[in-house]
Amino acid sequence: MKRPGQTDWRVNPRSYEFVGATFDPLTPMQTLARAKWMTMAHGFRYIVTPNVDHLVNIAKQPDVFIPPFEASWLSVCDSRILELLAKFSGIPLKAVPGSELTQQLFDNVITAADNITVIGADIEIIETVKRIYGLHKINHYAPPFGLRNKPDEIAKTADFIAANPARYVFICVGSPQGEMIAKACLDRGDCAGLGLCVGASLDFLSGRKKRAPKWMQNMRMEWLFRLVSEPKRLWKRYLVEGPKIFWLWAKWSMKRG
């Protein structure tokens, strides 16, 4: 179902509205194939990766969250919990974690000759990623905190992206700030390449943070691993806000009939 402001260029026209957000039913390999197709010759477009936290926030503040999400080129499911709820609803969503998509791009697509840009992260992470992958240069810009309420800083960040054309732009500043930056780049009309709103993906790629073991991922328990790893920072997200998704899903299901 198309919403106001949603782009007309989605790769897969069979997108689904699920608990307040639009999702493209692509597998990880299909998503990677679309990302590999992008070059610096293409006009800017971007991928978003909604998870439970995003859907809870969309319900609370739709005017803030929906426009930058709906302007995306691709919207893929970044949650195995949402994947399971979608399955119960007869919607064929596959989990495409942003951290895995990021790693696949660095492992199998990006070469030393490619221009890439990173928004967010810090110098230590940038230097670690450069060393691991033998990259000669990463265009790096670290905007200030509080971007959501600083439109001038969002515009300044989009200026940097426009001035440093890259095949891939990894936007790692959290949500909705990352999506707002991506939409600002799209609205400019003079940016190039593919933006990826992928949160803390470079933290995992650089080894600063560890992902859950595969068995926990397969059991849809990665959230528990992250909670135990960073309880002070994540307790509210996973124990207070996150469980609201089940009520939102129930309401959505009843409305859907």
Q: Which helix (H) or strand (E) holds 74?
A: strand 74-75
Is residue 10 assigned to a domain? no
For residue 101, tell me if it sits in a domain.
yes
User: Residue 72 domain-assigned?
Assistant: yes
Of residues 170 and 209, more confidently modeled = 170
pLDDT score recorded for residue 14:
79
Residue 105: count of CB within 10 angstroms of its CB? 23
Q: HSE of 138 in the Cβ direction (CA atoms, 13 Å)? A: 30
Query: In terms of DSSP bridges, do strands 21-23 and 16-18 run parallel, antiparallel, or are they unpaired?
Result: antiparallel
Predicted confidence (pLDDT) per residue in 83-140, tens digit:
999 999 999 999 999 999 999 999 999 999 888 999 999 999 999 999 999 998 899 9
Q: Check if the beta carbon of residue 197 is closer than 8 Å to that of residue 49.
A: yes
Residue 163 lies in a domain: yes
Nearest-angstrom CA–CA distance, 116 and 170: 8
Where residue 1 falls among pLDDT bands split at 50, 70, 90?
very low
Measured CA to CA, the distance from residue 12 to residue 75 in angstroms comes to: 10
Gap between the Cα atoms of 175 and 231, Å rounded? 20
Domain presence at residue 9: no
pLDDT of residue 116: 94
Cα 211–chain centre separation? 16
Question: Residue 113: what pLDDT?
Answer: 86
DSSP secondary structure code for residue 213 in this structure: P
* Residue 191 domain boundaries: 16-256
pLDDT band at residue 189 under the 50/70/90 scheme: very high
Q: Is residue 62 part of a domain?
A: yes
Q: Which residues contact 161 (CB under 8 A, 6 or more apart)?
A: 44, 117, 119, 141, 169, 181, 185, 191, 195
**pLDDT on residue 11:** 53
* Predicted local confidence at residue 225, as pLDDT: 82
| E strand intervals along the chain | 16-18, 21-23, 45-48, 74-75, 116-120, 139-141, 168-172, 194-197
Q: Which pTM was predicted? A: 0.91
- The pLDDT assigned to 87 comes to 96
How many domains does the structure of the chain reveal?
Answer: 1
Residue 28 has pLDDT above 80, yes or no: yes
Query: What does DSSP assign to residue 5?
Result: T
**What pLDDT was estimated at residue 13?**
59
d(CA 193, CA 170): 11
- Rounded Cα gap, residues 68 and 168, in angstroms: 18
Pairing mode of beta strands 168-172, 21-23: unpaired
**The pairing of beta strand 168-172 with beta strand 116-120:** parallel
Whether the pLDDT of residue 4 is over 70: the answer is no
In angstroms, the CA 9 to CA 38 distance is: 14
Is residue 95 in some structural domain?
yes
Which residue, 91, 83, 63, is CA-closest to 1? 91
**pLDDT above 60: residue 6:** no
What's the CA gap between 50 and 10, in Å, rounded? 16
17: helix, coil or strand? strand
Quick check: is 5 in a domain?
A: no
* Residue 157 near residue 184 (C-beta atoms within 8 A): yes
Whats the size of the chain, residue-wise?
Answer: 257
Report whether the peptide linkage leading into residue 28 is cis, meaning its omega lies within 30 degrees of zero. no
